[in-house]
Amino acid sequence: MKSVASCIVTACLAFALHAHAEDPPAGDKAPSAALHALFDSEWERGLVESPENASYNGDPRFNDRWSDLSLAAIKRREAEDRDALAKLHALDRGALSAADQLNYDTFEWLLQKSVERQKFREYLQPVGHQGGVQTADGIAEVLPFASTKDYRDWIARLQKLPALIDQVTVLMREGIKDKNMPPRILMQRVPAQIAAQIVEDPASSPFYRPFAKFADGIPATDRAELDAQARRAIGEDVVPAFRKFAKFFDTEYLPHARDSIAAAALPDGKAYYDFLAGYYTTTDLGAAQIHEIGVKEVARIRTEMEKVKDETGFKGDLPEFFTYLRSDPKFFEKTPAALLQRYRALAKRIDPELVKVFHTIPRLPYGVRAIPDNIAPDTTTAYYQGGATDGSRPGYYYVNLYKPEVRPTWEMMPLSLHEAVPGHHFQFARGLELPGAPDFRRTAYFVAYGEGWGLYAEQLGFDMGLYDDPYDHFGQLTYEMWRAVRLVVDTGMHSMGWSRDKAIAYFKENAAKTDQDIVNEVDRYIGTPGQALAYKIGQLKISELRARATRELGAKFDLRAFNDAVLETGSVPLAALERHIDAWIASQKRDRH
C-alpha cells in the first residue's frame, strides 16, 4: 500500500457506537457545527493545494494542474497547518459528542504531527528511487479519461510539467546547500527513470498512454486534435524539461548524494528517526525496543518454518529449503500474462470465503491490474490503490509482472489477502462507508492500523481455509517473517550502524523471498525510514486484541463480529483502536448476559 500514519492519541474511544449516553443535548449543536466546518474547510484546502490528492480521491476539479512546490507555497502551507491547529484548540472538546471527540482527537493528532515534522524539511528530498516528478505519469492510472475535457485537462498538466520540474530542481538545490540529501545507493536508480521520459517519438512517452486508445465516448472529430496537442505538449514541453532535469541530476545532484544510508546522518537525524518511528507505529516505542521485538519474532517464526518445511517432506535444512523455493521452476510462471491470470484466478478463489470471517462486506468492488512497466523494476511486489471517495472508481490491486521468473507462486495467497481482500480493499472501502464521518476520517491512513490490518488479514487465510497447501502456508510464514525482519533491519540501519549489505544478508538468512525482492525491500527501508516498522507492530496489537476478546468472551466470541469491530473505527492510531475494542468487548458482555 502507498501512504502515512501517527502516534498515541488521547482519544476517548467509548466511540459513538457504544457511547450514546455521552452525546450532548439535542439543542447544543454549535461546537459540533464549528468542528465540522473546520473539517470541511481543511479538506477543501487540501484538495486545492494538492491537485494530485484531489485526483486520487476522484475529485476532477483540479485535474489540469500540479501542486505548487515553490518554497513560498510550502512555507504558506506550513503556516496554514499551524493556524488550523490553533483553530482546533480554540474549540471546546468537552462539549462534543463521543463520536466528535474521536474526530477531534484524530484530527488533532494529524495536525500536531504535520507541524512537528516541519523542522525536518522533508520537502528538500522531493525525488526518491520509488517516485517523484520522474514518475508523474503514474497519476493517469486514476484519472477518468471519459470525456474530451478529461483529455484536455491531461494536456494542460503536460504543458505545466516544466514549471513543476523547475520547482523540484530548486528544492533539490536547497537540499544540497542544507546537506539534506538522499543516499547515493538509491539515487543511482533514478537516471534510468528520468531517461525513460526522454523519447524521440512522443507516442512512446509514458505520458502519451491515455491517447493510445481513446474512450468510446470521445467524438471522432475531437480525437485528431487531442492527439496532435498531446504529441506537441510531450515533444515541446515534457521531453525538453526532462532532458534539462537529467543534466542537472547527473552532473549537479547525484555527485552530492550522501554515502551513508542511515537517517541518523541527516540534519538532526536521530530526532528525525525517533519521530518517524513514533509516527508510523503510532506508539512511543523506541528503536531499541522495536529491534528487540523483531529479534524475538524472527526466532518464533523460524521455529514455525521448520515445522512446515518438514510437512512438505523436504530433507535439507532451512537455508537449503529457501534456496529450493527461490529457484525451482515449478514455483514460477513463465510469462507476465500467465502470472496476471493466476493472480486474477486467486482473487476469485478468495472472494466466496470472506463470509466466513465477516458479517459486513463493503459495497465498493475491486480489480486486479499490472503495475506499469516503467516503474515495475524498482517497486514492490504489489500494492493497493484505493477507490474514489464518491464510488466512481473501484479499488485496484496492482501486481508486479516484471521478471516473472523471480515472482514465486507460493507468495501469492498471503500477498493477495494483504493487498486486496480482506486486507487493504476491505479497510479502505469500509472507511469510505463510515456513517456520518468527515471526509478526512473516511480517507485517513494510519500506517500501523492499515498495514497491521493487512498483515492480520494474511492470517485470516487460516480461518477461511485457504492455506491447505503447505507451500502456501510457508508463503504466509515468509510474509510474516518479512515483516518481523523489517523491525530488525530498519532499526539496525537507521539507528545502530548496520550496513546495507548486513541488512540484505540478515534478510536473506531469515526469509525465502527472492534476491530481487530482498534488495528492493532493503532499499525501500533506506528510502522511507521507519515506515516498515508499522506492519508488525500493528498486527501484533490487533492479534493481541483478538486474543483478549477470545479470552474474555469465551464461547460467545464471534470472529466475524470482532473483525467488523476492528474495521468500523476507520483508520485510527493503535491506542484509539484498543479503547474501541475494549468498549466492544464490554458491550458484548452486556448484550449476552
Percentage of the chain beyond pLDDT 70 is: 95
Mean pLDDT of 363-373: 95
Confidence class for position 29, pLDDT limits 50, 70, 90: low
Between 193 and 379, the more confident residue is 193
- For every residue of 271-294, DSSP letters joined together read HHHHHHHHHHHTS---HHHHHHHH
Q: What are residue 433's DSSP bridge partners?
A: none
Cell of 281: 507505529
**Whether the Cβ atoms of residue 366 and residue 428 lie closer than 8 Å to each other:** no
- Tens of pLDDT, residue by residue over 444-491, are 999 999 999 999 999 999 999 999 999 999 999 999 999 999 999 999
- Tens of pLDDT, residue by residue over 311-349, are 999 999 999 999 999 999 999 999 999 999 999 999 999
**Whether the Cβ atoms of residue 453 and residue 427 lie closer than 8 Å to each other:** yes
Pick from 422, 428, 434, 364: nearest CA to 393: 364
Q: What local confidence, expressed as pLDDT, does residue 9 receive?
A: 25
Q: What local confidence, expressed as pLDDT, does residue 514 receive?
A: 84
Q: If you average pLDDT over every residue of the chain, what do you get?
A: 93
State the Cα–Cα distance between residues 130 and 380, nearest whole angstrom. 9
Between 397 and 14, the more confident residue is 397
State the Cα–Cα distance between residues 360 and 399, nearest whole angstrom. 26
Is the pLDDT reported for residue 172 higher than 70?
Answer: yes
Confidence class for position 135, pLDDT limits 50, 70, 90: very high
Q: What local confidence, expressed as pLDDT, does residue 368 receive?
A: 97
- Tens of pLDDT, residue by residue over 218-250, are 999 999 999 999 999 999 999 999 999 999 999
Label residue 452 left, alpha or beta by phi (over 0 means left) and psi (-120 to 50 means alpha): alpha
State the Cα–Cα distance between residues 589 and 556, nearest whole angstrom. 9
Is the pLDDT reported for residue 171 higher than 60?
Answer: yes
* Strand locations in 5-106 (E): none
Mean pLDDT of 91-120: 95
State the Cα–Cα distance between residues 309 and 303, nearest whole angstrom. 10
State the Cα–Cα distance between residues 219 and 330, nearest whole angstrom. 49
- For every residue of 83-114, DSSP letters joined together read HHHHHHHTS-GGGS-HHHHHHHHHHHHHHHHH
Q: What local confidence, expressed as pLDDT, does residue 4 receive?
A: 27
Is the pLDDT reported for residue 395 higher than 80?
Answer: yes
Between 119 and 2, the more confident residue is 119
Q: What local confidence, expressed as pLDDT, does residue 15 receive?
A: 25
Confidence class for position 377, pLDDT limits 50, 70, 90: confident
Confidence class for position 2, pLDDT limits 50, 70, 90: very low
Confidence class for position 375, pLDDT limits 50, 70, 90: confident
Mean pLDDT of 542-569: 97
Mean pLDDT of 376-383: 88
- Tens of pLDDT, residue by residue over 242-275, are 999 999 999 999 999 999 999 999 999 999 999 9
Please state which of the ranges 15-29, 322-336, 422-436, 508-522 shows the lowest mean pLDDT: 15-29
**Strands 366-370 vs 382-385: parallel, antiparallel or unpaired:** unpaired
Q: What local confidence, expressed as pLDDT, does residue 380 receive?
A: 83
DSSP state of 258: B
Place of cell 534488495: 519
Q: What local confidence, expressed as pLDDT, does residue 414 receive?
A: 97
The CA–CA distances, whole Å, from 267 to 124, 174, 176, 182 equal 12, 13, 12, 12
Pick from 536, 448, 520, 530: nearest CA to 493: 530
Please state which of the ranges 5-19, 165-179, 196-210, 494-508 shows the lowest mean pLDDT: 5-19
Q: What local confidence, expressed as pLDDT, does residue 379 receive?
A: 82
Confidence class for position 356, pLDDT limits 50, 70, 90: very high
State the Cα–Cα distance between residues 42 and 257, nearest whole angstrom. 36
Contacts of 210 (CB under 8 A, 6+ apart): 140, 143, 145, 151, 154
Percentage of the chain beyond pLDDT 90 is: 90
Is the pLDDT reported for residue 16 higher than 90?
Answer: no
Confidence class for position 26, pLDDT limits 50, 70, 90: very low
Confidence class for position 517, pLDDT limits 50, 70, 90: confident
